Chains A and B, each alone.
Chain A
Amino acid sequence: MPEDLELINRFLSGDMEAFEMLVKKYQNRVINTAYSLAGNVSDAEDIAQDTFLKIYHGLNSFKAQAKFSSWLYRITVNTAYDFLRAQKHKTESLEEADCENIRAKENNPDLLTRELIQGALGEIPFDFRSVLTLRELNGLSYEEISQALKINIGTVESRLFRARRILKGILTRKGALKNV
């Protein structure tokens, strides 16, 4: 697949197919990032759609000095933030349902259920959740997260540390860390 910059230049010259290639290349990453931030599939797809629409309209303002993926992640996180704020999204409470989900995974004790992970992620502040998602889901380095979110590396490190602390507290409270 051609490089991002080549696809961007082709799109800016009017080649719609190049934009489609960009979407295909990144859509899974964007959708899953959005899913991790929003907590449900429907919202995740809407956020991803909005993100790519913003990319479509904003590609002419993209500065080639930056990495396209960093720019894309920033837009994804910002779009998710706006979306959730607009919806006054409330993370689903797991409570009783958790027990069922935890039991359902008894064969693989290290792997928690999707609902449990999403519920716990939904309880941590958005700023921490976004850093944690970019690190754990997308495997970005501190430097890349710092560029994507326009925060310094020290902030990335401290948010990651606190996000993990909070998450551990939540999972412990829910009784999900017996085997971890």
Chain B
Amino acid sequence: MCKYAKLLNRYIDNELPRAKKEFMDTHIISCPACGQEMKFLNSLRQNISQNKIDTNADFFLNRLKGRIQQEEKAKNLSENFVFDFGKWTRKLIPVPVLASILIIIFLNLNQNSYTNPVDEYLFTNQNSNVLALIDTAGQQSELGLLLY
């Protein structure tokens, strides 16, 4: 292979500056290897550039339009589905949500009765001879009742 083989590729691709192109113009005539390579490169170009297929342009476009319409339809459907799903959730979800809210309120009410453990402690000591043990977190955990 000639040392100018790489340059030959740029030459055939018309990517050489004028000075180098002029050099290659004369080099190809005097170099059999480059002359042969040039023949191959030209042949390759001719073959690849003619390696084309004929397709039915209208069929291609119609198929593409069909696919676009299908995608748009699917998109709309999925949007509608989400909307319908939302409607159903609005109908169905309130029951458990409502139940949950009621449970939370009920639990909070129960907890609120022990929200002031000091008062509770004093109250139980003063009024009912019952000792309530209160943990450090402020929540009452009745470990037991001690009777005087």
> Which positions in A face B, CB cutoff 8 Å?
20, 23-24, 27-28, 31-32, 35-36, 41, 44-45, 48-49, 52-53, 56, 110-112, 114, 117-118, 121, 132-133, 135-137, 139, 141-142, 157, 160-161, 164, 167-168, 177, 180
In the complex, are the beta carbons of B68 and A167 less than 8 A apart? no
Q: Does B127 touch A at the CB level, under 8 Å?
A: no
Interface size on B, residues (CB 8 A): 31
In the complex, are the beta carbons of B13 and A41 less than 8 A apart? no
Majority secondary structure, A binding face: helix
Report the separation of the CA atoms of residues A114 and B48 in the bound assembly, to the nearest whole angstrom. Answer: 9
Query: How would residues 32 to 55 of chain B score, 1 for a CB under 8 Å from any chain A CB and 0 otherwise?
Result: 000000011101111111111101
Partner of B43, one of A41, A52, A161, A180: A180
Query: In the assembled complex, how far is the CB of residue A129 from the closest CB belonging to chain B, in whole angstroms?
Result: 10
Q: In the complex, which residues of chain A have a beta carbon less than 8 angstroms from the beta carbon of B67?
A: 49, 53
In the complex, are the beta carbons of B53 and A164 less than 8 A apart? no
Given contacts A23-B61, A141-B15, is CB(A117)–CB(B48) below 8 Å? yes
Partner of B52, one of A32, A48, A112, A164: A32
Task: List 15 A–B pairs whose Cβ atoms lie within 8 Å, in order of A's numbering.
Answer: A20-B65, A23-B61, A36-B51, A49-B64, A111-B46, A114-B51, A117-B47, A135-B13, A139-B49, A157-B6, A157-B15, A160-B9, A160-B13, A164-B41, A177-B40
Report the separation of the CA atoms of residues A46 and B13 in the bound assembly, to the nearest whole angstrom. Answer: 31
Report the separation of the CA atoms of residues A140 and B121 in the bound assembly, to the nearest whole angstrom. Answer: 89
Q: In the complex, which residues of chain B have a beta carbon less than 8 angstroms from the beta carbon of A157?
A: 6, 9-10, 15
Query: In the assembled complex, how far is the CB of residue B106 from the closest CB belonging to chain A, in whole angstroms?
Result: 52
**39-93 of chain B: CB within 8 A of chain A:** 39-41, 43-53, 55, 57, 60-61, 63-65, 67-68, 71
Query: In the assembled complex, how far is the CB of residue B59 from the closest CB belonging to chain A, in whole angstroms?
Result: 9
Partner of B39, one of A52, A137, A164, A180: A180
In the complex, are the beta carbons of A133 and B9 less than 8 A apart? no
Measured CB to CB, the nearest residue on chain B to A114 is: B51
In the complex, are the beta carbons of B40 and A53 less than 8 A apart? no
Q: In the complex, which residues of chain A have a beta carbon less than 8 angstroms from the beta carbon of B64?
A: 23, 49, 52-53
In the complex, are the beta carbons of B55 and A132 less than 8 A apart? no
Q: In the complex, which residues of chain A have a beta carbon less than 8 angstroms from the beta carbon of B51?
A: 32, 35-36, 114, 117-118, 137
In the complex, are the beta carbons of B68 and A56 less than 8 A apart? yes
Q: In the complex, which residues of chain B have a beta carbon less than 8 angstroms from the beta carbon of A28?
A: 52, 55, 57
Measured CB to CB, the nearest residue on chain A to B5 is: A161
